[in-house]
């Protein structure tokens, strides 16, 4: 709780959209014998002592965060830390024990079954770790399934499904069965299926964890490309910190059911809240994460010369350019206005820092 | 722990000996006293009487109500049998008028062959043609059509009811384990035991025959459906909910289609079991091929019995193969025609040929001159056997009877019931802990209390001899087949065939060679029950993980050491499962052999059937089921333990 407040206090870089699409407040999920009836019987979450006394187990404890429009929030943590449980609480595949989940203004804890079904059919898409493709349906039929479920006529749903299959570059496999596809291809089908209903919110639970490293990387690139096209609000679960850094606008790090820190990759890398977070960040190549803006010396009066660098640029991408100059380089914002300077020493320090540790 | 078990059981044996020596004949610890007997049969009869005679609010007794359901089964069957071979008529006797002739044999054959061709290509069409030709040539056409008419009603009922029940059980997680367990136990009650209650409620004829068939096939279908749905639900996970399926959509669009492979297995089982119950169904008036076999059996008409028995198998294989192909939805031949056009073509051909049969008599009835019979051939064979082999078969039979069967029979039937109850309890405890020990001991006690003890021990004796023989021959054969492809290539097709023949058919050669009594029963049981012993052993050895084998080679094991120290322990759970199946099949065959004169629980059910004594039949049926459960829990429990040694160790250490 305290670390959470700390990161909130540091006011992360303004998220991509202004309005939160997903709001989660003080969310709890208890497991154990009669956990559900116990949760129903009371309004506030139990303390640690009572939890252990009743042999319950809190898979998610007191989690709060927002996801803004068009933002990718990646939930990262070791296996068993409660990531999937959190994701399932937010998508309401399981009912949270305590707390509040609001999705697009709809309070999921109070929504009727029918409202939830409508929400799932029109607003949410989900990708599963093990694909969950139906073996006796072709790729086309698998992708068209969610549309079929919401009652769309055959011609229009197949047209839309083909469009999605095309989007994930599997047009030549539309008539194949899942068994004939590689793991990477199967997950592409899973992605196409989850996008078929054109959801606003996209849930992905370790979608690439079952794949080989090379294929995983390929699909991460695919994901980045797709997100540029479809611009969804995304909750993405992974246990791979590198993946989180590549894909996230913000990352929430989970441990034992709590979020220990939430922030941009840069914030986590530069200011890990505790040793647990640091254990993930310490092997990260700083220059791939840190932007010019976060290490520059602020100075609105700096003179913008021809060699100026943008404050949003990653250090690694502009290091060569800066090091080629003899004087500190001017930093400009996206509008081209000067906001500060960055010295060669700063860049060198960042480059060397990680060379020492790893 | 193992030594403690052996020590306990040895001590028990000594106690038994001492009791037999020391206690007077008729002592309560030796034979269960008359006065303590619990009249289970009477109680069951009281329940049936209550149900069948209870007045349901003016709408008649229970029996009246069930009798009302009879036409529901009879009408569709009559319709089909009229269509297939009787023709539609009006009036009786001299006024009888043919409204529409039965479908011509040629019309049906052409229809079947073309359908087979469309669904499964040349291979299936050949099978269909061969089946039809077989039925025609051996003069079994009308019997087969009657059987077909009944199964055409029974199989869909079994499928649909089984599927619905399966879905219901799957959806009720709370009752699921209990129901699955109960289904397994139902399968151990011999079908004979169901016959009498069914007759009480539905009389004799087509309806009870269909109901018995459905009862026989249903548990397997329910079980397969539940297992299939569970598996499908696991693979599809949260998909259905996440895309906003309602309950019906989740079932029909996501879970059932994903379970279709398993459901196809259920289809196969229902077809096979339905066909294998036609002989038993003919005991309550089914007629058809089953009745032909039964009559042949009673008259010892070997040739006729084999002909009709094989016809049942052939039809089962053909229908099953057709349905399996059909259910995949693929078209293998005549693909140019749409399915409507194809149906129209078949309809036109069948109608045309049938109308033609009004003027061409050879189309109406298959020409007599072309009908064959193997009867004379088999008569000759028997004569030859009796003349030339009698001394050998009789010698073997007599020797085995005197030196093995009779002593064992004497030993088992003279064991004090108290000792048997204790022995079963201890064995159950050793295998699965205190709870299982008490449960199995309790079942044994119930058998003793039912007054069926002597018959039960006779059942155990014959089953034990036959199953031991099956195991002694079958397991090594299986192991051999598992290690050698060439052996497997010869052995496996043989046991495949053995397994598809209806149980009754095994009686025929047994009687032929050895007459009646314990010994032919033994032979028939062995023939029927040896397949799983071989099959599972072969499977177990063949699927020993390659890395274990390599480790063995690496250690420098010689082939025999490798078998003994690596392959056998790894295959032990499978081998024990096979043994378990062998016992179950042995028990069910044992009941069938009651027809050739045994003296055990099977005989009791058959006698009960003759006397329409439902309680007596069911009580004996339950006793058989109890024996099956005890064997299953002991042998099956052993298999479980072998496959998870750590956990078993914990249980044995007194966890329960
Ligand atoms: N249905 C359940 N019943 C009981 N415990 C559960 C259940 N689902 C998850 N858990 C427990 O909750 C914890 C978090 O699980 P999960 O959210 O799946 O972790 P992650 O996705 O981070 O690996 C784990 O310790 C797991 O054992
Ligand atoms: Mg997970």
Q: Burial-class residue B107 by CB neighbours within 10 Å (0-12, 13-18, 19+).
A: buried
Instruction: Please count the residue pairs, one from chain A and one from chain B, whose beta carbons lie less than 8 angstroms apart.
Output: 54
pLDDT score, position A225: 92
Taking 90 as the threshold, does the pLDDT of residue A100 lie above it? yes
H or E stretch covering B99 = strand B97-100
State the average pLDDT over residues A34-51.
89
Which two structure tokens, joined as six digits, stand for B582?
């062998």
pLDDT score, position B61: 74
The ipTM, to two decimals, is 0.80
**Choosing among B228, B234, B238, B242, which should be mutated to test the A contact, i.e. which has the most A CBs within 10 A?**
B242
What structural domains does chain A harbor?
A: 20-123+199-281 (3.40.50.300), 287-357 (3.90.1280.20)
The answer to whether the CB of B492 falls within 8 A of the CB of B538 is yes
d(CA B316, CA A218): 52
CB atoms within 10 A of CB A304: 13
Which two structure tokens, joined as six digits, stand for A272?
């890990």
State the average pLDDT over residues A224-253.
93
d(CA A305, CA B433): 86
pLDDT score, position B203: 83
pLDDT score, position A263: 94
**Residue in the structure block whose two tokens are 């002593």:** B407
To the nearest whole Å, the CA of A226 is away from the closest chain B CA by 20
- Name the residue among B249, B247, B250 with its Cα closest to residue B236: B250
pLDDT score, position A181: 94
Q: At CA A85, angle to CA A79 and CA A89, rounded to 5?
A: 160
Q: A121 touching B, CB under 8 A?
A: yes
CA nearest ligand 1 atom 6, residue: A31
CB contact under 8 A, A145 and B260: no
Taking the centre of ligand 2 as the mean of its atom positions, its distance from the CA of residue A126, in whole angstroms, is 14
Confidence at B322, pLDDT banded by 50, 70, 90 = very high
Q: B242 touching A, CB under 8 A?
A: yes
Confidence at B393, pLDDT banded by 50, 70, 90 = confident
Taking the centre of ligand 2 as the mean of its atom positions, its distance from the CA of residue A81, in whole angstroms, is 8
To the nearest whole Å, the CA of B332 is away from the closest chain A CA by 19
**Choosing among B232, B237, B238, B243, which should be mutated to test the A contact, i.e. which has the most A CBs within 10 A?**
B243
The answer to whether the CB of A296 falls within 8 A of the CB of A343 is no
State the average pLDDT over residues B113-134.
92
Q: At CA A90, angle to CA A89 and CA A91, rounded to 5?
A: 95
Q: At CA B18, angle to CA B14 and CA B20, rounded to 5?
A: 115
Least confident of B319-328, B383-392, B541-550, B647-656: B647-656
Query: Phi and psi of A204, rounded to 5°?
Result: -135, 120
- Tell me the whole-structure pTM to 2 decimals: 0.80
Q: Probe ligand 1: pick from A28, A35, A75, A82, max atoms within 8 Å of CB?
A: A82
d(CA B32, CA B448): 7
**Choosing among A117, A118, A138, A196, which should be mutated to test the B contact, i.e. which has the most B CBs within 10 A?**
A117
Q: Could you say which architecture CATH assigns to the domain B386-415+454-656?
A: Orthogonal Bundle (1.10)
- Name the residue among B130, B284, B93, B97 with its Cα closest to residue B207: B284
The answer to whether the CB of A253 falls within 8 A of the CB of A276 is yes
Give me chain B's average pLDDT, please: 84
Taking 70 as the threshold, does the pLDDT of residue B613 lie above it? yes
pLDDT score, position A250: 95
Q: B249 touching A, CB under 8 A?
A: yes
Confidence at A11, pLDDT banded by 50, 70, 90 = very low
pLDDT score, position A77: 94
- Name the residue among A319, A278, A272, A261 with its Cα closest to residue A295: A319
Confidence at A14, pLDDT banded by 50, 70, 90 = very low
- Name the residue among B651, B524, B496 with its Cα closest to residue B587: B524
Taking 80 as the threshold, does the pLDDT of residue A6 lie above it? no
pLDDT score, position B58: 65
Domain range summary for chain B, segments of one domain joined by +: 386-415+454-656, 418-449
Taking 60 as the threshold, does the pLDDT of residue A1 lie above it? no
pLDDT score, position B255: 94
Long-range residue pairs from B503-506, CB within 8 A, at least 24 positions apart, any chain: B503/B276, B503/B279, B503/B528, B503/B588, B503/B589, B503/B592, B504/B279, B504/B293, B504/B294, B504/B297, B504/B309, B504/B592, B504/B595, B505/B293, B505/B305, B505/B306, B505/B309, B505/B310, B505/B313, B506/B589
Residue of chain A whose alpha carbon sits nearest to that of B233? A132
Q: A93 touching B, CB under 8 A?
A: yes
């Amino acid at each position: 709780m305290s670390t959470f407040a700390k990161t909130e206090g540091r006011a992360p870089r303004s998220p991509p959209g202004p309005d939160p699409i997903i709001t989660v407040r003080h969310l709890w999920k208890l497991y154990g014998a009669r956990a559900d009836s116990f949760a129903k019987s009371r309004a506030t979450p139990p303390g640690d002592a009572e939890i252990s006394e009743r042999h319950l187990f809190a898979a998610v404890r007191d989690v709060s965060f927002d996801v803004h429009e068009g933002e990718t929030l990646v939930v990262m943590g070791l296996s068993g830390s409660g990531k999937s449980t959190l994701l399932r609480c937010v998508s309401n595949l399981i009912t949270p024990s305590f707390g509040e989940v609001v999705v697009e203004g709809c309070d999921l804890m109070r929504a009727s079954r029918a409202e939830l079904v409508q929400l799932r059919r029109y607003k949410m898409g989900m990708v599963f770790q093990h694909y969950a493709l139906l073996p006796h349906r072709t790729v086309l039929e698998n992708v068209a399934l969610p549309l079929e479920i919401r009652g769309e006529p055959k011609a229009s749903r197949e047209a839309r499904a083909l469009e999605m299959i095309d989007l994930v570059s599997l047009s030549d496999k539309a008539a194949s069965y899942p068994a004939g596809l590689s793991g990477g291809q199967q997950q592409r089908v899973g992605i196409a299926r989850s996008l078929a209903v054109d959801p606003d919110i996209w849930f992905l639970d370790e979608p690439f964890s079952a794949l080989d490293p090379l294929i995983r990387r390929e699909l991460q690139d695919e994901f980045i490309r797709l997100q540029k096209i479809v611009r969804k609000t995304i909750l993405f679960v992974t246990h791979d910190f590198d993946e989180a850094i590549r894909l996230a606008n913000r990352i929430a790090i989970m441990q034992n059911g709590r979020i220990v820190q939430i922030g941009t990759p840069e914030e986590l890398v530069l200011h890990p809240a505790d040793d647990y977070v640091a254990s993930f960040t310490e092997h990260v190549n700083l220059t791939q994460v840190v932007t010019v803006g976060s290490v520059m010396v602020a100075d609105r009066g700096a003179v913008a010369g021809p060699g100026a660098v943008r404050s949003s640029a990653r250090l690694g991408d502009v290091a060569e350019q800066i090091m080629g100059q003899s004087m500190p380089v001017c930093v400009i914002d996206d509008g081209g206005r000067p906001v500060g300077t960055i010295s060669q020493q700063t860049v060198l320090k960042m480059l060397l820092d990680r060379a020492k540790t790893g | 722990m193992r030594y403690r078990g052996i020590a306990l059981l040895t001590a028990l044996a000594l106690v038994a000996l001492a009791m037999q020596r020391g206690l007077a004949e008729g002592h309560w610890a030796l034979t269960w006293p008359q006065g303590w007997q619990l009249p289970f049969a009477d109680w069951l009869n009281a329940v049936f009487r209550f149900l069948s005679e209870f007045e349901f609010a003016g709408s008649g007794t229970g029996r009246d109500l069930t009798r009302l359901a009879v036409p529901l089964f009879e009408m569709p069957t009559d319709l089909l049998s009229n269509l297939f071979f009787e023709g539609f008529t009006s009036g009786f006797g001299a006024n009888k008028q043919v409204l529409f002739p039965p479908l011509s044999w040629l019309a049906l054959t052409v229809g079947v062959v073309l359908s087979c061709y469309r669904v499964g290509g040349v291979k299936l069409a050949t099978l269909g043609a061969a089946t039809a030709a077989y039925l025609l040539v051996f003069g079994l056409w009308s019997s087969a059509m009657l059987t077909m008419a009944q199964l055409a009603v029974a199989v869909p009922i079994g499928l649909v009811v089984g599927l619905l029940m399966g879905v219901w059980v799957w959806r009720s997680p709370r009752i699921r384990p209990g129901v699955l367990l109960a289904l397994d136990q139902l399968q151990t009650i011999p079908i004979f035991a169901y016959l009498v209650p069914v007759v009480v409620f539905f009389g004799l004829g087509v309806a009870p025959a269909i109901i018995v068939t459905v009862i026989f096939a249903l548990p397997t279908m329910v079980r397969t459906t539940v297992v299939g749905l569970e598996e499908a639900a696991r693979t599809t996970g949260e998909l259905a909910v996440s895309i906003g399926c309602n309950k019906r959509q989740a079932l029909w669009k996501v879970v059932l289609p994903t379970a279709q492979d398993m459901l196809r297995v259920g289809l196969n089982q229902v077809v096979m079991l339905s066909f294998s119950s036609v002989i038993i169904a003919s005991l309550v008036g089914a007629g058809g091929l089953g009745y032909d076999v039964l009559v042949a059996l009673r008259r010892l008409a070997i040739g006729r019995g084999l002909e009709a028995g094989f016809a049942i198998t052939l039809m089962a294989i053909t229908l099953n193969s057709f349905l399996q192909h059909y259910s995949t939805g693929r078209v293998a031949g005549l693909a140019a025609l749409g399915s409507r056009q194809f149906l129209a073509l078949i309809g036109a051909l069948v109608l045309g040929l049938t109308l033609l049969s009004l003027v061409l008599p050879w189309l109406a009835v298959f020409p007599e001159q072309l009908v064959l019979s193997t009867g004379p051939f088999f008569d000759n064979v028997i004569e030859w056997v009796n003349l030339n082999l009698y001394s050998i078969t009789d010698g073997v039979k007599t020797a085995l009877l005197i030196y093995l069967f009779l002593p064992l029979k004497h030993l088992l039937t003279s064991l004090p019931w108290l000792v048997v109850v204790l022995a079963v309890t201890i064995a159950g405890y050793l295998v699965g802990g205190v709870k299982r020990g008490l449960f199995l001991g309790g079942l044994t006690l119930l058998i003793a209390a039912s007054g069926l003890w002597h018959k039960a021990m006779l059942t155990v004796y014959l089953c034990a001899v036959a199953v031991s023989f099956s195991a002694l021959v079958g397991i090594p054969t299986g192991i051999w087949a598992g290690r050698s492809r060439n052996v497997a290539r010869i052995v496996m097709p043989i046991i495949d065939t053995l397994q598809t023949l209806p149980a009754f058919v095994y009686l025929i050669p047994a009687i032929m060679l050895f007459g009646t009594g314990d010994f032919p029963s033994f032979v028939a049981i062995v023939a029927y029950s040896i397949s799983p012993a071989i099959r599972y052993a072969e499977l177990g050895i063949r699927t020993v993980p390659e890395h274990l084998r390599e480790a063995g080679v690496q250690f420098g094991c010689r082939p025999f050491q490798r078998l003994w120290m690596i392959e056998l322990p790894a295959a032990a759970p499978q081998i024990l499962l096979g043994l378990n199946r062998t016992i179950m099949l042995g028990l069910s065959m044992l009941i069938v052999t009651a027809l050739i004169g045994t003296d055990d629980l099977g005989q009791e059910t058959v006698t009960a059937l003759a006397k329409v004594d439902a309680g007596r039949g069911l009580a004996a049926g339950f006793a058989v089921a109890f024996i099956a459960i005890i064997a299953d829990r002991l042998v099956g429990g052993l298999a479980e333990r072998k496959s998870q040694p750590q956990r078993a160790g914990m249980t044995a250490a007194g966890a329960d």
